[in-house]
Structure 1
Amino acid sequence: MFAHTLTQELLRVLERPDLRVIAGERQIALDPALELPFRVQPTGAIVLGLPAQGQQEETAFFLRHALELAPLLDIAPHRALCAAFCAARTAALFWYLDTGRSDADAPAAWVPQMAQAQVPPPSALRQIWQALAPLQPDVPRQSGTDPFAALHDALRDLWPILGPTESLMATGGDARLAVDPATGLNHYGCSHRPRPWAITFASSTASSLSERGFAGAETARLSLLAGALHGRGDAAACALDTDIQAHIAAHFGLVAGEGVVLAPSGTDCELYALALASLAPSGRPVSNIVLAPEETGSGVPLAAMGCHFANDTALGHGVTRGAPIAGFPTDTLVVNVPMRDAEGHVRPVAEVDAETCRLTHDMRAAGRHVLLHRLDLSKTGLLAPGLPALERACAPMDGTGDGPDVVVDACQARLDPLRVRDYLDRGWMVMVTGSKFFTGPPFCGALLLPTGVRRRLDGPRSVPVGLKDYSYRHAWPRGGAVAGLPAGHNIGLILRWCAALAEMAAFSRIPRVTVHDRLRDFLSAVSARIMAEPALELLPPVRPDRTPMEGAWDTLPTIMCFFVRAPDSDGEGFHPLVLPDARRLYAWLNTDLSGLIPPDDPDVALACLLCHVGQPVPLAHPGLPGMVAGALRISAGARLVAGEPSHDGMDPTERLRREVRNVGRIVDKINLILRHWSRLSMAAPVQTYLPHGWQARAILPA
């Protein structure tokens, strides 16, 4: 890919995992005599010039611009003028995302104009072209009307899908996806770019992309842009929506007559399930029985009532959190069944089962249609109610009409596809995501529909009208019930799912027995390491109660939850961190603490290590009577099993040993933070995408 003329500085920039993925096999050379930052050759090769030899931020900008322009000229040589401005738009957005710098620091005068929310006017485009034209092969002169007026109209249609993959993936969700320019990370402390230098066991919450996932999203973005440049933008997006639905269906074994609804999140899946329950033939008011809402998404209780669960929707509409969504019945009842008692202990399974059956019976006897949940699994790995209890709850009752709808919350996706197939065979809906176990980017969910529920979309009634603020028609299987949803596509959701599907495909190639053995060995070693640490208290892992299946890995508890001893606690008993302090610890683990730790600390070398674990779960603890503690989580995800591109060439056994050692490094950094808690509290350090003074080779996990 790289010519021998490249300098060490450029090679360091090309070591960035995002740029390395985008560069692929494209030929890149350096010509110090070239007075332009770069030029794309007629062959598609890139020649970098002398201006690219500056600060690394500017070098990365010019290279990213070249790497965008070259494939667009390959894709649409007949629209070279338009391709030039599309590439400039993406490069401009990349600059601000990459540096967080102001307009005054822009490396070219046109950058602030091309980063604006609106397309610059034709006169500005004409002026910008003077700077862009020399960067690419000659564009044929266009006779007749002013080409920049026509270009302006074309760019206005393209503007929403122009930008780097990492920017577009932050759209079509909610505010938690937005990247903070000061940190390079989103609300979950993760990035839409690869971050292989970070130790990551956060799959119970959210993960940064691997190079594999980033490549999957980048390929999809270029496919969308290619379709748009050829006048087939909607068809290209439709094809990707359909392809994603088909791949999800194939992974989980769906058959003809069943369906997949694409959703930005598990909470949106909850809303869609309620909408489908409201279309049940009986037309009765719905009672929604939710398991352990405290261990699902924070917005689930509101979505379960048909209410707005945030102040904005995935499609960018401003709404009022807690207000009813138009078209959803206002007589919906939500009944919660907790899975832990007031002291944080797991309730006996028989007790949870009995309560679920009783509530279902009472609601059905009262003439209500029941939407009944099975949680598989919760944030801490709990599964309930049991299958026999669900069968009893769904058994026919005299005079109650139709049976309950059941929806399985499998958003953690920590189950074998054959289990999903069994749920669908029972006529139950299933919520899944690509963003938990599979380690795709946050906010990519799907609701799987069995045949009986899928047929409701062909019936005479429509889904609630308020869903138009949440979903596009093409995210659903075809049917008259969704005809009123708007046309269009959630581009961010498409890219996130393409990233997740790349991880799912890699995981699917590993034999099930191998998956089981790798997870078993890792989890056993991690459990022993946590239990051996006095500052930590492991919650007893709960093995999911599943029907035996040869080679099944989903009977293993893949989420390890633990409390951390408060730094100021006395020697009597175990007093864990309260929830706000657990959240600070969680963030500081993912932060470069260099310069804040005294140099004489024996573990000072760990200060720059970035460690991403699962967000704290609020739980009661007997050591904190009347208060809420926070339990952190180390989770085994698909990448632990399948590896990732940065692991290429490593022996699988040694790679897993390294992962276990990395858990030990997380524990050591926890102890480092606890020793210097007061100092860090006063400094209030913040997370960053990169460690300070980044040198990837020096800090990759050992």
Structure 2
Amino acid sequence: MLLCNFGEKLIIAEIINSCPLPSLVVKFLEILAMVSFSKSATKYMLVNSILISAVRSSSSFSITKASKTMSKSSIFSRFGGFNFCNKSTNLAATRSLSTSEQYTEDAIGMAKKFNFDQFESLLTTGGDDRSLILPESGANKYHIRPVPIESHQIFRGSCTGNPPTKSAFEATKKFYEENLESIQSCQLDSALRDIFKEQRERLKKYLDLPEGAEVIIAPSGSDAEYLPIAIAKALHPDKKIVNGVTQLNEIGAGTAPASTGKFFSKYAPFLGDHGLDYLEGFDGIEGIVVGARNKDGSVVDAAQKMDEFEKEQIALGNYPIVHAVFGGKTGLRDTVMPSSIDKGDTSMAIVDACQGRFTLAEMKEWMDNDAIVLFTASKFFQAPPFCAAVIIPPSIAEKLSTADAPKEMLGANGLLGFVTDKELPSCMDSWKPYLNDDAINNVGLALRWQAGLYSMEKLESISDDERTALVDEWAAKVKNMVEENPNIDLFCVERSITSIRMAKDGDTSQWLNMGEARDLFRWMSLDVSEVVPDATEEEKKALATSGFIGQPVSVSEDFAIVRIALGVDSLYAYSQDKASTLAEDQMLVNKLGAIAKHFSTLKASGL
């Protein structure tokens, strides 16, 4: 007997619609779909028996593809008996990690060309183009590799993207070897279901979320933007959804397009190179985007603009989603974190806390304000790029638990291109039949979250108050270092992110623009000492140091900045050995100053 893993009328209807069954069998299934059983296993066994009989009695019976609403794979991929366990088909051998198997295999192949092993290569899968290993560099677009940095390298780029920390890498690799490396492909769906459930519970515990709050696991902060839209549609299916986003240029580049339902990358986790513009079912989503700064670099009052937007849309009878950013690329925080009006009945508030630089008290306040929070473990907490979560407050989770699914948004070219039912909490059970596909398994995401949670839990020994004091002390020290260097200038300090602009060739009348700052960003990770013969011995020592910092940000029409950002690993190191940590920061500041001073020489070198 085949053991099926479904139990809803929807699935029975899909079988009837997808398979040319004998008419008598179809009639029996239609009757069965209307019957309620006290134990769902009874229905499973009956349907299995019917299907086996149908297969044996009908020579014309064939297995067809399910509709896009369900998945790209055959509907019978849900039947254990059609996916036999074979001892030779372990995860390492098959690499069947997503619907787009070729995309996953290509990602692994790109990584293995640079001698990354299977585990390391898996860390680059299940995301978008930002995670892929580029053939010209052997690293991703942030110059990051899926392995810990070398002992002689310095890392202060947690505000952009992270290599795994050494301790998290080792812990996650052990987890992979014990739980996933030798698993048979037919067991992967069940294994990941348990892993994601445990990860959601660990995150709820770490963030001290209130009873009734729920967590969705998502591939990245940009991907996470699609989920509040779908939640809004589920709660208000007859209203026009409008989305307001703040801090353009200081949030992820994918946030603005994602906020109106557009694909932000040519790749999607389960679709590969999709060639699509909008997610299926997301057409008609409108919105506004508010910049972070004026042309001169001064801060825009985004909170006021969002308040005006919200009132205007409510007056028009629409349902507004209102964003505020709690720490953009420079650490900039909008002045007001919004509340969902009438607990989400009138508007939905989103707090973008993807940088992860907040206290538990601040998280509690957002939950009390009925705001959905977007969070990642791949910024401050230094998980490999990327892994995110959508945190749903109890009030909205309760409403979701009784709402119908926005099924038009859950197709293969919609949300099923990014998440499956395995990543969803129980309050979204009505969504799960549409997102259920045991052939879609984001192992890379599970591993990245495992690394992030390891680092989060490692920091639990330091209280919020102690952490805040350490960050403030570190930031003050680094601020002084920057101010003492004549070739660079402090732009701003926001908690654990220090933003710096660079004087071109040491001339403070001209600052590096965005293109030039990108060159500097690349050179920071390289030994460039040999191409600057005029550098002093101290400068050559700095120029020879490989350091990773936060990527450039365009904050003004006249200049760009780069960032030195404390992350979980460097914060923990600072708590244990302040002098050694600050010595690393001093070396990075020295290198920034040396590159700025000798910028034209470096540019002429062709590096």
Specify if TM > 0.5. Answer: yes
2:415 paired residue number = 467
2:125 paired residue number = 171
Alignment of 1:46-445 (within 5 A): 97=111, 100=114, 164-195=118-149, 196-225=151-180, 228-229=183-184, 232-281=187-236, 283-320=238-275, 323-330=277-284, 332-347=285-300, 351-387=301-337, 390=338, 394=341, 402-445=345-388
1:619 paired residue number = 555
The residue type equivalent to 1:482 in the other structure is K
CA 1:538–1:230 in 2, change beyond 3 Å: closer, same or farther? closer
Answer whether contact 1:433 1:446 (CA < 8 A) is retained.
yes
Ranges in structure 2 where 5+ consecutive residues have no aligned partner: 1-85, 97-106
Equivalent-residue separation in structure 1 for 2:602 and 2:400 (angstroms):
56
2:471 paired residue number = 519
Answer whether contact 1:223 1:236 (CA < 8 A) is retained.
no
Equivalent-residue separation in structure 1 for 2:377 and 2:492 (angstroms):
27
The residue type equivalent to 1:499 in the other structure is A
Alignment of 1:680-695 (within 5 A): 680-685=602-607
Deviation at 1:360, TM superposition (A): 1.0
Deviation at 1:614, TM superposition (A): 0.4
CA 1:600–1:674 in 2, change beyond 3 Å: closer, same or farther? closer
Equivalent-residue separation in structure 1 for 2:467 and 2:273 (angstroms):
43
Equivalent-residue separation in structure 2 for 1:227 and 1:279 (angstroms):
39
Equivalent-residue separation in structure 1 for 2:127 and 2:89 (angstroms):
29
How many correspondences in the alignment? 502
TM-score (norm 1): 0.66
Answer whether contact 1:100 1:182 (CA < 8 A) is retained.
no
Equivalent-residue separation in structure 2 for 1:318 and 1:296 (angstroms):
24
Q: Percent identity among equivalent residues?
A: 22
Equivalent-residue separation in structure 1 for 2:403 and 2:266 (angstroms):
32
Deviation at 1:632, TM superposition (A): 0.4
Answer whether contact 2:505 2:600 (CA < 8 A) is retained.
no
Answer whether contact 1:199 1:662 (CA < 8 A) is retained.
yes
1:13 paired residue number = none
Answer whether contact 1:310 1:319 (CA < 8 A) is retained.
no
Secondary structure of the equivalent of 1:384?
Answer: coil
CA 1:171–1:575 in 2, change beyond 3 Å: closer, same or farther? same
Answer whether contact 1:315 1:469 (CA < 8 A) is retained.
yes
Equivalent-residue separation in structure 1 for 2:213 and 2:457 (angstroms):
21
Choose from 511, 534, 545 the match for 1:576: 511
Deviation at 1:666, TM superposition (A): 1.3
Answer whether contact 2:161 2:379 (CA < 8 A) is retained.
yes
Equivalent-residue separation in structure 2 for 1:640 and 1:665 (angstroms):
14
Deviation at 1:608, TM superposition (A): 2.6
Secondary structure of the equivalent of 2:592?
Answer: helix
Q: Could you report, residue by residue, the CA deviation over 1:223-272 in whole angstroms, capped at 9, with x for unpaired residues? A: 34366249633322221111111111111123443211111111111111
Q: Could you report, residue by residue, the CA deviation over 1:508-540 in whole angstroms, capped at 9, with x for unpaired residues? A: 122333322321221110011111222112123
CA 1:537–1:98 in 2, change beyond 3 Å: closer, same or farther? same
CA 1:536–1:594 in 2, change beyond 3 Å: closer, same or farther? closer
Alignment of 1:615-694 (within 5 A): 615-620=551-556, 627-643=557-573, 652=575, 655-685=577-607
Deviation at 1:190, TM superposition (A): 1.5
- Mapped pair 1:593 → 2:544: no
Answer whether contact 1:444 1:493 (CA < 8 A) is retained.
yes
Larger RCO: Structure 1 or Structure 2 (Cα < 8 Å, ≥ 6 residues apart)? 2
Moved more, 276-285 or 592-601: 592-601
Equivalent-residue separation in structure 1 for 2:137 and 2:311 (angstroms):
51
Deviation at 1:100, TM superposition (A): 3.7
CA 1:171–1:560 in 2, change beyond 3 Å: closer, same or farther? same
Equivalent-residue separation in structure 1 for 2:406 and 2:91 (angstroms):
44
2:541 paired residue number = 605
Moved more, 360-369 or 631-640: 631-640
Secondary structure of the equivalent of 2:289?
Answer: strand
Choose from 556, 566, 578 the match for 2:504: 566
Deviation at 1:88, TM superposition (A): 13
The residue type equivalent to 1:616 in the other structure is P
Equivalent-residue separation in structure 1 for 2:89 and 2:302 (angstroms):
61
Deviation at 1:167, TM superposition (A): 0.1
Moved more, 589-598 or 365-374: 589-598
Answer whether contact 2:486 2:593 (CA < 8 A) is retained.
no
Ranges in structure 1 where 5+ consecutive residues have no aligned partner: 1-78, 102-114, 116-162, 543-556, 621-626, 644-650, 686-702
Alignment of 1:444-593 (within 5 A): 444-454=387-397, 455-456=399-400, 458-463=402-407, 464-465=409-410, 466-478=414-426, 479-487=429-437, 488-542=440-494, 557-567=495-505, 569=507, 574-593=509-528
CA 1:422–1:674 in 2, change beyond 3 Å: closer, same or farther? closer
The residue type equivalent to 2:405 in the other structure is R
Deviation at 1:86, TM superposition (A): 5.1
Equivalent-residue separation in structure 1 for 2:182 and 2:315 (angstroms):
54
Equivalent-residue separation in structure 2 for 1:210 and 1:677 (angstroms):
31
Deviation at 1:319, TM superposition (A): 2.7
TM-score (norm 2): 0.76
CA 1:658–1:428 in 2, change beyond 3 Å: closer, same or farther? same
Secondary structure of the equivalent of 1:595?
Answer: helix
CA 1:276–1:586 in 2, change beyond 3 Å: closer, same or farther? same
Deviation at 1:403, TM superposition (A): 1.6
Secondary structure of the equivalent of 2:313?
Answer: helix
Equivalent-residue separation in structure 1 for 2:403 and 2:348 (angstroms):
17
Equivalent-residue separation in structure 2 for 1:84 and 1:510 (angstroms):
37
The residue type equivalent to 1:370 in the other structure is P
Deviation at 1:601, TM superposition (A): 3.4
Answer whether contact 2:501 2:562 (CA < 8 A) is retained.
yes
Deviation at 1:634, TM superposition (A): 0.8
Equivalent-residue separation in structure 2 for 1:420 and 1:578 (angstroms):
36
- Indicate the RMSD between aligned Cα atoms, in angstroms: 3.0
Secondary structure of the equivalent of 1:214?
Answer: helix
Deviation at 1:333, TM superposition (A): 1.9
Equivalent-residue separation in structure 1 for 2:542 and 2:296 (angstroms):
35
Secondary structure of the equivalent of 2:493?
Answer: coil
The residue type equivalent to 2:431 in the other structure is A
Answer whether contact 1:462 1:484 (CA < 8 A) is retained.
no
Answer whether contact 1:308 1:320 (CA < 8 A) is retained.
no
